[in-house]
Structure 1
């Protein structure tokens, strides 16, 4: 995966102004840039300035800020004049979730009919008992976080 301190991280270099990027917005906690490999024109990346490989490594305050900036960027895309009939907000946390750059980042991109982007899955309906078991497992995860003070 990525380096721990961000010294070899392209997103850290962008955030420091040491690597080329088409910046849209920046503040003390995050920067927004155009991605080199967009799903559609206008595809943005919201990148926290602090190096965090994934959600587990990012403090909740900065994480909330990243989502707040992403929300604002989605609203801006709708007013940008770029083709935008809808917006996807997507975060890949971990290799199994298709994360490719191991510095957490939020994708915000315009969608429109025929843009070619698809999400495919086995969308099976689960039983209430299965959903209740999963809910209990997540509640146990929350209790574990609470016991850590996280």
Structure 2
């Protein structure tokens, strides 16, 4: 896609700090470096978000994550964990609409944080089951 910043990075039109590349993905340091080593893994084929993946692309892209994650972790003995994040859609904080996966190394003293809100008090068995049934029905439709 011509206006896509990640496509331009993949094509070499915009410089990047490439850490890995093969026929399927291009991985490079995120310019923000939320923590040292923060890396983006992007499919070379332009795809907007996870909703546009097919099973083959998902298998190929996600199969490469452990190798890249292990290399990041091994690159710095201070790394004690890693978040793997994928934002899909503006409401989920996706800012570049070319699918990308954040590999975010974690350090004992980093200032990065995420908040997961606990809404379990708003759910009873019927509400959990209704949400579950709606998802299961969609999966059954997708398998047909």
TM over 0.5: yes
Runs of 5+ consecutive residues of structure 1 not aligned to the other structure: 1-5
Instruction: Note the C-alpha offset of 1:110.
Output: 0.6
Q: Which moved more, 1:35-44 or 1:70-79?
A: 70-79
| 2: CA distance, partners of 1:128 / 1:39 | 39
Number of residue pairs matched by the alignment: 142
Extract structure 1 runs of 4+ deviating beyond 4 A: none
Aligned CA-pair RMSD? 1.5
Q: Which moved more, 1:135-144 or 1:88-97?
A: 135-144
| 2: CA distance, partners of 1:62 / 1:28 | 12
| 1: CA distance, partners of 2:109 / 2:127 | 36
SS of corresponding position for 1:111: strand
Query: Which of residues 133, 136, 140 in structure 2 aligns to 1:139?
Result: 136
* Superposition TM-score, scaled by structure 2 size: 0.90
* Mapped pair 1:56 → 2:51: yes
Query: Which of residues 101, 118, 121 in structure 1 aligns to 2:116?
Result: 121
1:30 touches 1:48 (CA, 8 Å); kept in 2? yes
SS of corresponding position for 1:85: strand
Query: Which of residues 33, 38, 56 in structure 1 aligns to 2:33?
Result: 38
**Distance 1:33-1:82 versus aligned 2 partners, 3 A rule:** farther
Q: Which moved more, 1:79-88 or 1:96-105?
A: 79-88
Query: Which of residues 62, 69, 72 in structure 1 aligns to 2:64?
Result: 69
SS of corresponding position for 2:128: helix
Instruction: Note the C-alpha offset of 1:136.
Output: 0.6
* Superposition TM-score, scaled by structure 1 size: 0.87
* Mapped pair 1:17 → 2:1: no
SS of corresponding position for 2:64: helix
